[in-house]
Amino acid sequence: MVDEDGGALMTGWEYAPAPESRETARLRESYGMFIDGAFTGSERTLKTVNPATEEVLAEVAVAGPQDVDRAVRAARRAYDEVWGPMPGRDRAKYLFRIARLVQERSRELAVLETLDNGKPIKESRDVDVPLAAAHFFYHAGWADKLAYAIPGRPDPRPLGVAGQVIPWNFPLLMAAWKLAPALAAGNTAVLKPAETTPLTALVLAEICQQAELPPGVVNVLPGAGDTGAALVRHDGVDKVAFTGSTEVGKQIQRALAGTGKRLTLELGGKAANVILADAPLDQAVEGIVNGIFFNQGHVCCAGSRLLVQESVYDEVLDKLRRRLSTLRLGDPLDKNTDIGAINSAEQLARVRELSDLGEAEGAQRWSPPCELPDRGFWFPPTVFTDVSQSHRIARDEVFGPVLAVLTFRTPAEAVEKANNTPYGLSAGVWTEKGSRILWMAQRLRAGVVWANTFNRFDPASPFGGYKESGFGREGGRQGLEGYLDI
Ligand code: NAD
């Protein structure tokens, strides 16, 4: 394009590449498992890859049944001899120390998380790592105040050894969600990170060493589903905390039935994000984008079903399409990137399959023009309209950057449609009227209801689901209950 004088006109702002240096991650060729305060190798290993490039990042030891046994025994010993008898004020000091070390090593952790997971650096830097530190700070504060945590229970006791299994979508943050309350309440822990994202949990183990946490209090065992299954079934485990798919959650619940082990499950979701006609629409559009495209939609509480009141449907969709056209997909290490890589080839196949099915069932598929990198696992932000409630795209958890849009006429219809799901993890409401927020929040069957915002997390706020989204809460006083014998 040229101006009247023949000079070039700028057609828009161009972003120069702004990559964070991968050197910051201090990546090593191999990582051991962490048992009884020391890192050890294993005959079996797995290779963890960068999903943005498919390059192998490191080789990681895989824990077998004997390693699980060793870790659980170490955790038991530490519980009986050191951590259980330790006064809460002393446990708190270790947790504060871990929190500060997470902050000190925050850039390293953020870059490593982005390399291993594929999420944009601005998310790992501004959300995952600060929230992980916040969870340790928050729970450190509870360690010497447990007598006040549960009303009417002045002397709550820890449960013993916690076996904890976490997914790949927020690897460090989920490790913090699991370890911080367990340790604050006086339990010891054996944690199994997901097979595609073990690295930041292993650096967190190193931080535990650096904090001089007594050996055995925290153990980290990389591996796949068989390692997780051996851990949750181990007789020496008193409490199981699992975050992941509903299918595996059900398997674990079956396996634990009758054992007397405590169990909390944080599973899938298919959250409704409800836009009423009186909502501030520009803000709502930001909330829709944050609700489903944050972390490529790999979020159990993602707002993957958009319910828009009919009278503002066209306006909302126009604004949404325009906004999506400005999102930048690409190198997750670039500070300007909004949409990173899908975590694995398997997850990409699932996102593709469900999206193809959406089209085959008659929904209209739309994505902004966007170039996908040649290598790595990528999927463009995608919106489905003309979706009916029976479509798989409206019922199944896609766990990817895919939004299904439905409409409604009255708030009562919105509630009915929002609750028409086997899940019940989260929901969002956008309206200017406070009374309508309360009216809807009372009727939405979801563990968390956000009003005029979405995907906000705070360690003081309990998080968890109903129905097939699981049971038990994480965060807040309610989260501590899951680790106390009351
Ligand atoms: P998954 O449930 O298979 O894996 C989660 C964790 O459980 C991993 O660490 C895995 O190794 C472990 N695991 C697998 N089988 C196990 C078993 N039998 N016993 C004990 N542990 C076991 O989930 P996934 O394969 O990572 O993802 C599949 C689907 O799960 C996704 O598409 C999504 O729908 C859902 N998901 C939900 C969340 C969430 O936060 N709610 C997180 C990740 C995945």
pLDDT digits (tens, 9 = 90+) for 371-414: 999 999 999 999 999 999 999 999 999 999 999 999 999 999 99
Q: Span 248-264, mean pLDDT?
A: 97
Q: Is 232 in the pocket of ligand 1 (CB under 6 A)?
A: yes
pTM, two decimals, is 0.96
Active-site position among 20, 113, 123, 266: 266
Q: How far is the CA of 398 from the centre of ligand 1 (A)?
A: 13
Average per-residue pLDDT for the chain: 96
Under the banding of pLDDT at 50, 70 and 90, the label for residue 2 is very low
Q: Are 33 and 61 in contact (CB under 8 A)?
A: yes
Whether 3 has a pLDDT exceeding 80, the answer reads no
Q: How far is the CA of 142 from the centre of ligand 1 (A)?
A: 30
Whether 6 has a pLDDT exceeding 50, the answer reads no
CATH H-level superfamily of 272-451: Aldehyde Dehydrogenase; Chain A, domain 2 (3.40.309.10)
Q: How far is the CA of 167 from the centre of ligand 1 (A)?
A: 5
User: Ligand 1: which of 166, 245, 301, 347 to mutate, most ligand atoms within 8 Å of CB?
Assistant: 245
Question: Which atom of ligand 1 approaches the CA of 266 most closely?
Answer: 41
Domains 22-266+466-485 and 272-451 share a fold: no
Domain definitions of the chain by residue range: 22-266+466-485, 272-451
pLDDT number for residue 12? 66
Q: Is 67 in the pocket of ligand 1 (CB under 6 A)?
A: no
User: Ligand 1: which of 165, 192, 227 to mutate, most ligand atoms within 8 Å of CB?
Assistant: 165
What fold characterizes domain 22-266+466-485? Aldehyde Dehydrogenase; Chain A, domain 1 (3.40.605)
Question: Annotated catalytic, 300?
Answer: yes
Whether 348 has a pLDDT exceeding 50, the answer reads yes
Q: Is 77 in the pocket of ligand 1 (CB under 6 A)?
A: no
Q: How far is the CA of 325 from the centre of ligand 1 (A)?
A: 32
Question: Annotated catalytic, 59?
Answer: no
